[in-house]
Amino acid sequence: MAPCLLILSPAVLLAGLKRVLAKLADWLGLRRRGGVTQMPAPNPPAIEIKIPGQCILWRQPDTVGRPIREHFDLIDTYGEESHWWRCLLKCRECGQLYFFEFTEEIDREDGDDPQYSTYIPVETEDQIAQLKKASTFELLGFFPRLQKDFSKGAKTPTVRWVVR
Ligand SMILES: [Zn+2]
């Protein structure tokens, strides 16, 4: 029995070590995906997003400049930090859901912080789940999306639908 154990043990140990390493890799991967400043995936997951033709935002995107609570109901909040906010909004007029992200860059020189707002029309839980997994950078891979960008030095924001 003793020689047999001696032969088997390294193989058993190696298998155990591989399992631990795989778990560690999974954990590190999950941790990375949860961050905002992560590296972009080469191909963001493709999801079908329907044009919200009935929504005033599609026809008159500039109306997004109205105070956010006048335009939308807040349905759910997915993340909130001082310069980053992610939530689900519902158009008060037509009920269209929008996955919303707000980001603000810190301008330490002039205090003129550039602000970026992204509105992605959504319909299903599956779409929302995919967007929640995406980084700020990866959200730029979804179309159509409404962008309201207040760049540094700008007097007014630039509002536009970005279509593929
Ligand atoms: Zn609407």
How many angstroms does the Cα of residue 74 sit away from the middle of ligand 1? 14
Residues 118/123/97/120 CA torsion (nearest 10 deg): 10
Q: Taking 60 as the threshold, does the pLDDT of residue 25 lie above it?
A: no
Could you tell me whether strands 97-104 and 84-91 are parallel, antiparallel, or unpaired per DSSP bridges? antiparallel
Q: Taking 60 as the threshold, does the pLDDT of residue 42 lie above it?
A: no
Task: For residue 119, give the 3-state DSSP assignment.
Answer: strand
Smallest Cα–Cα separation from 100: which of 124, 113, 116, 82?
116
Smallest Cα–Cα separation from 146: which of 116, 125, 126, 124?
116
Q: Taking 60 as the threshold, does the pLDDT of residue 27 lie above it?
A: no
Q: What is the tens place of the pLDDT at every residue in 44-73?
A: 556 889 999 999 999 999 999 888 899 999
Q: Taking 80 as the threshold, does the pLDDT of residue 4 lie above it?
A: no
Question: For the residues 38-47, what does the mean pLDDT come to?
Answer: 56
Q: How confident is the model at residue 164 (pLDDT cuts 50, 70, 90)?
A: confident
How many angstroms does the Cα of residue 20 sit away from the middle of ligand 1? 50
How many angstroms does the Cα of residue 136 sit away from the middle of ligand 1? 24
Position 84 scores a pLDDT of 95
How many angstroms does the Cα of residue 118 sit away from the middle of ligand 1? 15
Q: How many CB atoms lie within 10 A of CB 38?
A: 15
Position 113 scores a pLDDT of 87
Smallest Cα–Cα separation from 134: which of 4, 20, 39, 25?
39
Position 126 scores a pLDDT of 95
**In angstroms, how far is the first alpha carbon of the chain from the final one?**
68
Q: What is the tens place of the pLDDT at every residue in 73-115?
A: 999 999 999 899 999 999 999 999 999 999 999 888 888 889 9
Smallest Cα–Cα separation from 98: which of 120, 124, 78?
120
How many angstroms does the Cα of residue 94 sit away from the middle of ligand 1? 4
How far, CA to CA in Å, does 89 sit from each of 32, 111, 114, 152? 26, 29, 22, 26
Provide the residues around ligand 1 (an ion) whose CB is within 5 A: 55, 91, 93-94, 96
